[in-house]
Chains A and B, each alone.
Chain A
């Protein structure tokens, strides 16, 4: 899988010195006595693909849930484009330009693919219960304009023309994941939070999804934060990697730096001593 962006371009992207689009500062999250996150900080630069990796239960999804305001961290801040969003209500986050997909698909199962994607445009549309109910003039024009935009920009990009009229619940898993990405894209996001977009996919579907993520990042300039267990994908497409273990950041850097970091190897494989003791050596 060759990444669509050459290494030279990637280093060019990194060298641009502008403030990060997303800053996670000293995030602490606790469930009862369990410390889910204890002091995680990292920055996401504008235009980057940044991966968050770590073993199961490391707190990766917790960070996304804090950014989306599902969880309220008891300490720390999340700054998006220079604005602290720690007090913003959940539904307002979308208006700021933050879109996400979920690990377990969270699509509206009873609706068609097209309606699901149109829902992504919700915050960018204006018609209300009165104008929409009359379906005249403005409301109708808006519907038609959104439909055209979605068809030409998103459905075409993600190659889901054939299934747009189908009810989402009847689609296979891989396509549902793709529709979820489409819905997130319809939000015209500045930053896209993807929670295991390749989970449970075969090689071909994984490659397609990686291609879509690179296309979106490259052509639309959308910053991507990616949680993924498929190391091949992470190493291939991400500009920067943050590694978590037990709610703390244990490493951060380029994919190459991270993959040779002893802490990371320990988190994934266990320490040499532990490995030896398990083997009874």
Chain B
């Protein structure tokens, strides 16, 4: 029975998965994710929803939520424009794909385009903080949506843009099964990237800018560079998510990328845990799965009381809002903080002295 974790080298101490058991659990988790589509059919029928579709949405949103978490959670800069930034990525990917650009080039291009747009709208962050920056980025949201809706020659306007499904080496990602592995790959890569950047020089500089920007400047952190860089990386990730979304949904219109999506992204990282890599994952799972789960009892009740079924439909949204509020009251640091508490409790159970 170990009475603590003791390491004999700095490298071991800095490892992400420090113990054998953590590694074992991680391998099992990865195996589960890799094999899930094989029995997704059975699970979906049992719970009465398309779980593979849910997983795909979760993976896409994880890429974007990691981006927003880097900006808001780690660098401390709020953005209400990430919904539109995702749209920029989606349209860039869609337009390029329709021009015949292959998927492997169109997706990074979507990321880069969004990064450029995000960095431009991030310039006010040098002077603005908190609510003021929220309003400034909200302006970005409305400007971009306006462009998407009215620049019909490029975006197809309100009738939307049809995108061919992605294909690499002749494998078409036009179904949930194939797309699952594609989006899983990107979600995993985004998670690894966020984890790594936050434990190296750049990530520490971001947190320094968040916690004490004056002290950060004194130790040599270039505030302007790191604020804009944070906007750039964050927009790149959310642009990639938008690109994936475009290839997954295959028809995009500006209605997907409204203010509501920006707020949803923000809710994901806040409920999940700002400034925790796991936070964005928990937040996305929570925000995507909860409405689906709430659908089961409300639909059942609607069957019993068909006359007042409309009330139950809105009840779902009410419960959803209530759960988010309760989370903010009882666990303001998000689900990731609660996860750490639970883990700390079990670490050396039953002799946790």
Q: Do chains A and B stick together as partners?
A: yes
CB-CB under 8 A for A119 and B196, given A125-B201, A127-B201: no
Contacting B at CB under 8 A, from A96-136, are: 99-100, 102, 106-111, 115, 118-120, 122-123, 125-129, 132-135
Contacting A at CB under 8 A, from B212-252, are: 212, 214-223, 229, 233
Which residues on A sit within 8 Å (CB–CB) of B11? Answer: 144
- Within 8 Å by CB of A144, from B10, B203, B212, lies B10
Is the CB of A224 closer than 8 A to any CB of chain B? no
- Within 8 Å by CB of B218, from A90, A125, A127, A148, lies A90
Determine how close the nearest CB of chain B comes to the CB of A204; give it in whole angstroms: 27
Q: Are A106 and B200 in contact (CB under 8 A)?
A: no
> How far does the alpha carbon of A118 sit from the alpha carbon of B229 in the complex, in Å?
20
CB-CB under 8 A for A107 and B220, given A122-B205, A143-B14: no
Q: When A and B form their complex, which 5 residue pairs have the shortest distance between CB atoms, in order from nearest? A: A94-B220, A132-B200, A123-B220, A106-B215, A135-B196
Is the CB of A29 closer than 8 A to any CB of chain B? no
Q: Are A102 and B203 in contact (CB under 8 A)?
A: no
Question: In the complex, how many residues of chain B place their beta carbon closer than 8 angstroms to a beta carbon of chain A?
Answer: 31
Which residues on B sit within 8 Å (CB–CB) of A115? Answer: 204, 207
Contacting A at CB under 8 A, from B285-324, are: none
Which residues on A sit within 8 Å (CB–CB) of B204? Answer: 111, 115, 118-119, 122
Is the CB of B202 closer than 8 A to any CB of chain A? yes
Is the CB of B64 closer than 8 A to any CB of chain A? no
Contact with B along A180-215 (1 / 0, CB 8 A): 000100010000000000000000000000000000
CB-CB under 8 A for A111 and B207, given A91-B222, A147-B10: yes
Is the CB of A252 closer than 8 A to any CB of chain B? no
> How far does the alpha carbon of A143 sit from the alpha carbon of B229 in the complex, in Å?
21
Is the CB of A266 closer than 8 A to any CB of chain B? no
Which residues on A sit within 8 Å (CB–CB) of B208? Answer: 108, 111, 119, 122
Is the CB of B132 closer than 8 A to any CB of chain A? no
Which residues on A sit within 8 Å (CB–CB) of B201? Answer: 122, 125-128, 132, 139, 142-143
> How far does the alpha carbon of A125 sit from the alpha carbon of B219 in the complex, in Å?
12
A110-B275, A111-B208, A120-B219 known, 9 other contacts, Cβ within 8 Å: A110-B210, A111-B211, A122-B201, A122-B204, A132-B201, A133-B202, A135-B196, A143-B14, A183-B219
- Within 8 Å by CB of B212, from A99, A106, A148, lies A106
- Within 8 Å by CB of A119, from B205, B223, B233, lies B205
Determine how close the nearest CB of chain B comes to the CB of A57; give it in whole angstroms: 21
Q: Are A151 and B10 in contact (CB under 8 A)?
A: yes
Residue pairs across A and B with CB atoms within 8 Å: the count is 106
Q: Among A94, A99, A187, which residue has the most Cβ atoms of chain B within 10 A?
A: A94
CB-CB nearest in chain A for B215: A106
Main secondary structure of the interface of A (DSSP, over half): helix
Q: Among A90, A109, A123, A129, which residue has the most Cβ atoms of chain B within 10 A?
A: A129
Is the CB of A24 closer than 8 A to any CB of chain B? no
Q: Are A122 and B220 in contact (CB under 8 A)?
A: yes
> How far does the alpha carbon of A104 sit from the alpha carbon of B243 in the complex, in Å?
47
> How far does the alpha carbon of A209 sit from the alpha carbon of B235 in the complex, in Å?
45
> How far does the alpha carbon of A187 sit from the alpha carbon of B217 in the complex, in Å?
13
Residues of B within 8 A of A (CB): 10-11, 14, 193, 196-197, 199-205, 207-208, 210-212, 214-223, 229, 233, 275
CB-CB under 8 A for A132 and B203, given A108-B212, A110-B211: yes
Q: Are B215 and A108 in contact (CB under 8 A)?
A: yes
Contacting B at CB under 8 A, from A141-158, are: 142-144, 147-148, 151
Determine how close the nearest CB of chain A comes to the CB of B273; give it in whole angstroms: 12
Q: Are A119 and B217 in contact (CB under 8 A)?
A: no
CB-CB nearest in chain A for B236: A129
Which residues on B sit within 8 Å (CB–CB) of A91? Answer: 217, 220-223
Ordered by A's residue number, 15 sampled pairs between the chains whose C-beta atoms are within 8 Å are A91-B217, A106-B218, A111-B207, A120-B219, A122-B204, A126-B201, A128-B202, A132-B203, A133-B193, A134-B196, A143-B14, A143-B199, A143-B200, A144-B10, A144-B11
CB-CB under 8 A for A133 and B196, given A110-B211, A147-B10: yes
Is the CB of A95 closer than 8 A to any CB of chain B? yes
Which residues on B sit within 8 Å (CB–CB) of A268? Answer: none
- Within 8 Å by CB of B219, from A126, A129, A143, A187, lies A187
Determine how close the nearest CB of chain B comes to the CB of A89; give it in whole angstroms: 8
> How far does the alpha carbon of A129 sit from the alpha carbon of B204 in the complex, in Å?
11
> How far does the alpha carbon of A129 sit from the alpha carbon of B211 in the complex, in Å?
19
